[in-house]
Structure 1
Amino acid sequence: MAIPDRLRSSDLLPLWKELHRRFSSGAAVSRVTLSGLGEHHRAALADLLGMDRYPPSTLTIAVVRLDAVLGEAAGCDTRTATEAIIGPIGDRAAERRDRERERAALWSWLAGHPVVAAEPALLDWVADVRRRGLVAGSLEDTRSMLEQVLSVLVALPADGRPLAAFANDALGDPHALDAGRRVSGAVMKALASLYGIAPPGDASERRALWERAGVACDSLSTTVLVAGLRPSGSGPLARSLNLWADAGQASVVTLAQLVEAPGLEGVGSSVWVTENPTIVALAVERLGERCPPMVCSSGWPNSAAVRLLRGLAASGHTLRYHGDFDGEGLRIAAYVMARTGALPWRMSVADYLTALADASGPFSPAGRVSDSPWDTELARSLATHDVAIAEEAMAECLLGDLERAAGNVGNPA
């Protein structure tokens, strides 16, 4: 559109800029106010508006008046002239709404991600990420960073490899998880949330957290307690496990042995997984060489326990997990089920309420309770009653299941 040169005068620039700003707000504009006008600006405005004297330094102009003037001078309305002189008029309100929808979609995606859904303890980390806002104000950069963090969480616990090797495998960059990197810091906070501890504050605490997640850990001192495992095969691990099972004894397997073992097949249809070593000890004491296949996570499972359980699951064995009925016990159970595909064993709300009815005090509080994805009512009930039931308190019930498994009577759901 041809706009007369006199309308493009720099003396009228304050008018066009203010109109452009107001139109770009997305709101209806009926008038604009200009302030701090110099004498040359006032002269230009007087000429534009056909005034017989200079306006004051602060002036409010109705848009309908400008529409009439510009209709005669340029054959267009105020908005069209403003856009022709200053540039395209946006809609900041609509743009803000679009950004808000995109941010809401990002946080919804993160909260509903399968990793978070399977391990609800990570919701505290999700809330912290949301409070901190976008990385450098960018939705794309934030999503990219979060996708990397989730990729790392899926790959943990590691099998004792150095951090650089693990980072290269998980993210394609051996330095991606170095201290000071944004992704590394986010992973540390996510792991701290998962384990229910404070984020690491120095290098030694970061190393300890990485080691807890199986990165750069000692493959000889990282072990898992087992009983009743009789894998087929003639390798040294299979032979030794069969010897201990036949002797009615529990045994300890190192991460190094599991790394070297070709696989553990033929163990049995079900493998019974407990959180506490006491249950394994009681099972061995009562059942001896008849003890069915058992693995103990010993609290939060280390990389040896997860590697063994994943290997057993991959070989077609059904994993059945039981742990403490308290806040941390639920987080550990969710972690084990998410990382290994284990099924819950006596871990329903009905099991908790039965154990609670049979229990006698003094009682310990449940602690911080996260959701229980396998039974949503369990977490609610545990939080309501705020009474922890240790796995050992259910020993007789669990041993009864193991006795039936040893006698091939059938496996409970």
Structure 2
Amino acid sequence: MTQGSRHAFDRLELAPLWQELHARLSSGHTVARITVGPLSPASREALADLLGLDRLPGTRATVSLTRLDEAVREAVGGNARAVAEAIVGPLGNRAAERDSDRAARESLWDWLEGHPVVTTQPALLPWARSMRRAGLIRGSVQGTRRHLSHALTVLAALPAQGDPLPVFAAEHLGDAHALDDGRRLSGAVLRAVAALHDTEPPTTAARRRAAWGLVGIADDALSTTALTAGLRPAGTGAVARALTAYADAGHAAHLTLAQLRDPGELRLPSGDVHVTENPSVLALALREFGAACPALVCTSGWPGGAVVLLLRQLAATGASLHYHGDFDGEGLRIAAHVMAATGARPWRMSARDYESAHARTPTGPPPGRVTDAPWDARLAPALVEQGAAVLEEHVADALMGDLARHRCMQP
């Protein structure tokens, strides 16, 4: 047979046979026989001639692959597989393709659940699993991975520093409209924000705007502030001079996002900075130490954009950030969020610290939904086992002791 010529068995009346054989062999499974039909009278005659039958087969015929191979070998040499490939095209392997597709899907979901954005904030694990349950976008592993990568990029950048949503989207995704209301990506990110804050995903435009506000997306830079005490930066800028004056007077200071964005000359300290969740602890430190209060920053619950920006600026100068918060479900989520966003390290936030505090105050409120604490695998189980929260105010004496020792060690 010359190049480009038709195969001897490439005949219209035998087409159903070769197409069915090609489909079965492409399944990737062992094939012993095939059933072909319904067959036209011409196809029945052609099949009887090929196989050397003494009578016509029925309109549906079962053909042994061994018998078909023998007939092909006698007529043209080779086997039926080669004929099917020559006439219909290269054989596939659907079983292998299905296995490969299954492995690709499993790899995708394993990648999502093991991504640093998720592992550093275990409250996001239910969100990751909900993405898995939702399945692939239009059946595409690659398309779904791109979508999830964009969502993770956004989550890694939150909380924002008070940017309007289009500005934030343009900066981090290269598309000012990527997070517009109604977009698939916007919905995925807001479901993750709801998981972090243990709330229901927002279902109205007003609630979606509020949810963005929780993670530092805003249209102004004045309403989000960072509460500080004892910060004495160097520099001649207005913010540096004001912080130092407040610290010298033994007062707290609120820094707006606008002030942190445009502080003038400001050289933040590079030593230890202790971070608390509750303003009452910072207030107690000021009463305890006055003008000698060590450097403190308070997140006031979930940190807004100003708090995160200040902590990141401090970390960039080489400051060591030490975080303490409530021992309850939300406190663990806030702690994980702060540590992931700023590089802070835990301060008296181990399972041993919780157990010691619980022994002194065993009648705390229920802890609520508890998620893992990445810095101590024993902490969340201990909290669940005891079933009682320990609020930061209840361990304030130990925190004050640490601050006093730290103050005494300073030159």
Name the TM-score, length of structure 1 as normaliser: 0.94
Gaps of 5+ in 1: none
Secondary structure, counterpart of 1:371 in structure 2: coil
1:232 match: 234
2:365 match: 364
Q: CA deviation at 1:268?
A: 6.0
Quote the Cα distance in structure 2 between the aligned partners of 1:41 and 1:180: 56
Q: CA deviation at 1:256?
A: 1.1
Number of residue equivalences: 409
Q: 1:137 to 1:271 in 2, by over 3 A?
A: same
Secondary structure, counterpart of 1:271 in structure 2: strand
Q: How well do the aligned residues superpose, as a CA RMSD in angstroms? A: 1.8
Contact 1:270–1:320 (Cα < 8 Å) also in 2:
yes
Quote the Cα distance in structure 2 between the aligned partners of 1:91 and 1:252: 66
The amino acid that maps onto 1:37 is L
Q: CA deviation at 1:24?
A: 0.8
Alignment equivalent of 1:163, drawn from 162, 165, 169: 165
Q: CA deviation at 1:360?
A: 3.4
Quote the Cα distance in structure 2 between the aligned partners of 1:5 and 1:191: 63
Quote the Cα distance in structure 2 between the aligned partners of 1:374 and 1:150: 21
1:73 match: 75
Taking the TM superposition and a 5 Å limit, the aligned residue runs for 1:236-385 are: 236-262=238-264, 264-267=266-269, 269-361=271-363, 363-385=364-386
Alignment equivalent of 1:101, drawn from 103, 113, 137: 103
Contact 2:237–2:265 (Cα < 8 Å) also in 1:
no
Quote the Cα distance in structure 2 between the aligned partners of 1:4 and 1:235: 86
Q: CA deviation at 1:270?
A: 1.0
Q: CA deviation at 1:400?
A: 1.1
Quote the Cα distance in structure 2 between the aligned partners of 1:217 and 1:335: 23
2:217 match: 215
Q: CA deviation at 1:238?
A: 1.5
1:54 match: 56
Q: CA deviation at 1:182?
A: 2.2
Gaps of 5+ in 2: none
Contact 1:276–1:323 (Cα < 8 Å) also in 2:
yes
Alignment equivalent of 2:130, drawn from 117, 128, 131: 128
What do residues 109-153 of structure 1 show as CA deviations (whole Å, max 9, x unaligned)? 222222122111111111111111112111211111122112112
Q: CA deviation at 1:319?
A: 0.8
Alignment equivalent of 1:111, drawn from 92, 113, 124: 113
The amino acid that maps onto 1:142 is T
What do residues 165-188 of structure 1 show as CA deviations (whole Å, max 9, x unaligned)? 111110111111112222222212
Q: 1:258 to 1:409 in 2, by over 3 A?
A: closer
1:398 match: 399
Q: 1:404 to 1:62 in 2, by over 3 A?
A: same
What do residues 277-316 of structure 1 show as CA deviations (whole Å, max 9, x unaligned)? 1101111112211111111101110001001111111112
Question: 45-54 or 339-348, which moves further after superposition?
Answer: 45-54
What do residues 23-69 of structure 1 show as CA deviations (whole Å, max 9, x unaligned)? 11111100111243332322221122222221112221110000000
Question: 400-409 or 298-307, which moves further after superposition?
Answer: 400-409
Contact 1:264–1:311 (Cα < 8 Å) also in 2:
no
Contact 1:349–1:377 (Cα < 8 Å) also in 2:
yes
Quote the Cα distance in structure 2 between the aligned partners of 1:112 and 1:36: 52
Q: CA deviation at 1:241?
A: 1.4
2:96 paired with 1:89: no
1:387 match: 388
Secondary structure, counterpart of 1:18 in structure 2: helix
Quote the Cα distance in structure 2 between the aligned partners of 1:334 and 1:392: 19
Name the TM-score, length of structure 2 as normaliser: 0.95
Contact 1:268–1:293 (Cα < 8 Å) also in 2:
no
Secondary structure, counterpart of 1:8 in structure 2: coil
Secondary structure, counterpart of 1:272 in structure 2: strand
Quote the Cα distance in structure 1 between the aligned partners of 2:304 and 2:393: 21
Contact 1:264–1:312 (Cα < 8 Å) also in 2:
no
